[in-house]
Amino acid sequence: MRPADLAREHGISTQAVRNYEQDGFLPPAARTPSGYRVYTEVHASALRAFLALVPAYGHATAGGIMHAVHGDDLGRALTLVDRGHEQLLRDRETLNSVRTAIGDLTSGAPEPTATAWPIGDLAHRLGLTAATIRAWERAGILTPSRDPATGYRVFRAADIRDAELTHLLRRGGYPLAHIATVVGQVRTAGGTESLVDAMETWQERLNARGVAMLTAAGVLGEYLRSRP
């Protein structure tokens, strides 16, 4: 096979095929006496595997898997695959945590009427100590502003929402690092209402990644069986 033969199957350039070989994603190709690359069905299978791994695990991890296979370190390759599935499971758990917490928030206590709360008032609202609120801030979960005159923390509506969400998740037994991810998703989405609208897209992306992992597993298995 020529580089063009491999490239044509996937609609990529011949230079991309050569780059993938140079980067170690394909096994080294033999050369003709005049220096032209000669590929085999094994190379074609490797290219299929790499291109299937990219949407499932990302370019870097896909490359790492292929490097491990070509280095005869199957254990390392499978560990990278396992870590990808583990990350997908954590992402699903995060999504479920957000759904539960958002549901509790929207059906719970009414929104506070004050535009800005000191830390003591927020702690009282949640039935916690000010030290706990400060610990959440140190963990990067809460980001209150400061009163320019006094330097005291000021918690506005979004900060209070984040604190209530954190309190719900802590009662559910989630660690602070996990909660920081969830609250970050809420903050990025611009609030609970925006996040509710975005969760369907989030779920679709997770499902697409899961299906891509299933597809990649089959293609990678075929490549492993094709290798000498």
Whether pLDDT at 86 is above 70: yes
Q: Which two tokens stand for residue 177?
A: 């690092």
* Angle of the 74-107 helix axis to the 59-70 helix axis, nearest 10: 160
The rounded percent of the chain whose pLDDT value lies above 90 is 58
Start-to-end Cα distance in the chain:
18
pLDDT digits (tens, 9 = 90+) for 89-104: 888 887 787 777 677 6
* Angle of the 176-189 helix axis to the 157-171 helix axis, nearest 10: 140
| Identity of residue 201 | T
pLDDT digits (tens, 9 = 90+) for 137-166: 999 999 999 988 899 999 998 888 889 888
Stretch 77-96: mean pLDDT: 89
Predicted pLDDT at 132: 96
Q: Give this prediction's pTM.
A: 0.68
Q: How confident is the model at residue 182 (pLDDT cuts 50, 70, 90)?
A: confident
pLDDT digits (tens, 9 = 90+) for 40-53: 999 999 999 999 99
Predicted pLDDT at 15: 96
* Higher-confidence position of 115 and 205: 205
* Higher-confidence position of 70 and 203: 70
Dihedral of CA atoms 113, 115, 179, 58 in degrees, nearest 10, equals: 120
Name which of 141, 137, 133 is nearest 174 in CA terms: 141
Within 10 angstroms of residue 144's Cβ, the number of other Cβ atoms is 24
d(CA 217, CA 219): 6
Q: How confident is the model at residue 79 (pLDDT cuts 50, 70, 90)?
A: very high
